């Protein structure tokens, strides 16, 4: 059986198979070829059970849990339950987060998730930030010469492997990456000198916006650069609407700060507006909390209050003690 070097799927000459390729001698499946050359993405049927089995099957090898700092998914506690060995917590995409929040994020994970963490590091593959330190940690804690990278889809697992291979080996192999969910479809083993890195398919969070918007909107939702927080002093009954995908109504005067991609358009309304495509949720929020909308970002609320938030049908939310 030959596997696609880009996503790990079994190659097949059957057009109906997800691993379709014109010739079994090809290194890439058609889907990876199109993502890499035309930025065209073919959606796959996603099944977390299959992906959790991969996590359950990990031996006592060093495991890196990769989390996108900007998009901490609602199902992270479930993912963690499947990790039975010791892990290094790798918080990535630090380039998107306003500076000075490093310690706060590390503290947040310590306080809220029961993880067998041997070490924590904040990195950015995009900016090559702390990649040397990550490589040193891998060499220090590596116990079987196999190192697994696991975590939510889109967290940046494959990008980290590409960066490590690029920086510290002679290989020119790269794994396929994209801003859409489920890019990596099966485990991929790749040599980094005498260590074998093992990429795994990311766990999907089905309540995240990234599963439900078209690729044009997705490009706006996923930030490219450091986020500039946007503050609003809002009066009673005012609405803030983000594109056609999210709304928030303040029941009383309040201050909120949006941490979302700065490419999104935001409108403020001073009267009732129609949001027929969105579902209303009435929520109570404590002082200094974040309302997290998976895939979109979060809203920092300064004073405890009631709000109405408006979400697309399958999209979730959760509230946490503010990290910022
Ligand atoms: N800003 C920023 N973007 C990043 C960083 N690392 C990865 N990305 C982007 O995040 C998206 C997802 O990256 P991948 O490496 O494909 O993520 P993955 O965890 O392998 O995803 P799956 O294969 O679906 O599980 C891509 O668009 C990357 O370019 C980073 O450090 N900073
Ligand atoms: Mg991947």
Q: Where in the chain is the domain with CATH 3.40.50.300?
A: 44-206
Q: Which long-range contacts (C-beta less than 8 Å, at least 24 apart) are formed by 298-304?
A: 298/259, 298/260, 299/248, 299/256, 299/257, 299/258, 299/259, 300/229, 300/256, 300/257, 300/259, 300/324, 301/254, 301/255, 301/256, 302/254, 302/255, 302/256, 302/257, 303/254, 303/255
- The number of the ligand 1 atom at minimal distance from the alpha carbon of 66 is 19
**For residue range 242-267, what is the model confidence (pLDDT) as tens digits?**
999 999 999 999 999 999 999 999 99
Query: Whose Cα sits closest to atom 6 in ligand 1?
Result: 156
86 pLDDT band, cuts 50/70/90, is confident
Mean pLDDT value across residues 181-185: 94
Residue 164 near residue 197 (C-beta atoms within 8 A): yes
Query: Whose Cα sits closest to atom 32 in ligand 1?
Result: 93
Distance 176 CA to ligand 2 centre (A): 7
- The number of the ligand 1 atom at minimal distance from the alpha carbon of 200 is 25
Averaged pLDDT score across all residues of the chain: 94
Residue 232 near residue 224 (C-beta atoms within 8 A): no
Residue of 156, 223, 226 with the most ligand 1 atoms within 8 Å of its CB, for mutation: 156
84 pLDDT band, cuts 50/70/90, is confident
Q: List alpha helices for 142-287, DSSP H.
A: 157-168, 215-221
Phi/psi at 47 (5° precision):
-145, 105
Task: Point out the ligand nearest to the CA of residue 202.
Answer: 1
151 pLDDT band, cuts 50/70/90, is very high
Q: Answer whether residue 46 shows pLDDT above 80.
A: no
Return the pLDDT at 156. 98
Return the pLDDT at 102. 87
Return the pLDDT at 265. 97
Query: Whose Cα sits closest to atom 13 in ligand 1?
Result: 156
Tokens standing for 251?
């029941």
Task: Point out the ligand nearest to the CA of residue 211.
Answer: 1
| Ligand 1 binding site (Cβ under 6 Å of any ligand atom) | 92-93, 95-96, 124-126, 153-159, 177-179, 181-184, 201-202
Query: Whose Cα sits closest to atom 8 in ligand 1?
Result: 156
Nearest CA among 68, 57, 6 for reference residue 223: 68
189 pLDDT band, cuts 50/70/90, is very high
Return the pLDDT at 168. 98
* Separation CA 109–CA 90 (nearest Å): 11
215 pLDDT band, cuts 50/70/90, is confident
**Which residues are paired to 254 by β-bridges?**
234
Tokens standing for 207?
């309540």
Nearest CA among 213, 134, 230, 131 for reference residue 179: 213
Percent of the chain residues topping a pLDDT of 70: 100
Mean pLDDT value across residues 10-37: 95
Kindly report the CATH number that applies to the domain delimited by 44-206: 3.40.50.300
Return the pLDDT at 41. 82
Rg (CA), the chain: 21
């Amino acid at each position: 059986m030959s596997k696609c070097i880009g996503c790990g799927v079994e190659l097949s000459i059957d057009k109906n198979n997800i691993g379709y390729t014109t010739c079994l001698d090809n290194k890439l499946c058609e889907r990876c070829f199109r993502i890499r050359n035309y930025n065209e993405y073919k959606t796959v049927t996603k099944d977390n059970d299959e992906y959790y089995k991969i996590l359950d099957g990990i031996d006592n090898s060093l495991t890196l849990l990769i989390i996108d700092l900007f998009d901490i998914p609602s199902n992270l506690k479930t993912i963690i339950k499947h990790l039975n060995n010791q892990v290094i917590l790798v918080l990535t995409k630090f380039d998107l987060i306003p500076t000075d929040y490093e310690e706060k994020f590390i503290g947040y994970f310590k306080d809220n998730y029961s993880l067998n963490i041997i070490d924590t590091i904040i990195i950015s593959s995009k900016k090559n930030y702390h990649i040397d330190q990550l490589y040193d940690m891998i060499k220090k804690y590596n116990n079987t010469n196999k190192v697994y990278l696991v975590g939510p889809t889109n967290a940046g697992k494959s990008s980290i492997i590409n960066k490590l291979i690029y920086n510290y080996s002679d290989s020119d192999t790269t794994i396929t990456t994209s801003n859409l969910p489920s890019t990596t479809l099966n485990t991929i083993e790749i040599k980094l000198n005498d260590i074998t890195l093992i990429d795994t398919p990311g766990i999907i969070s089905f309540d995240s916006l990234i599963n439900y918007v078209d690729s044009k909107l997705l490009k706006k939702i996923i930030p490219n650069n450091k986020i500039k927080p946007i503050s609003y002093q809002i009066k009673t009954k005012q609405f803030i609407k983000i594109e056609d995908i999210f709304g928030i109504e303040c029941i009383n005067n309040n201050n909120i700060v949006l941490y979302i991609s700065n490419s999104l358009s935001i409108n403020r309304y001073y009267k009732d507006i129609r949001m027929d495509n969105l579902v209303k949720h009435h929520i109570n929020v404590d002082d200094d909390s974040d309302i997290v909308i998976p895939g979109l970002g979060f809203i920092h609320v300064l004073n405890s209050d009631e709000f109405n938030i408006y979400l697309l049908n399958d999209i979730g939310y959760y509230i946490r003690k503010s990290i910022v």
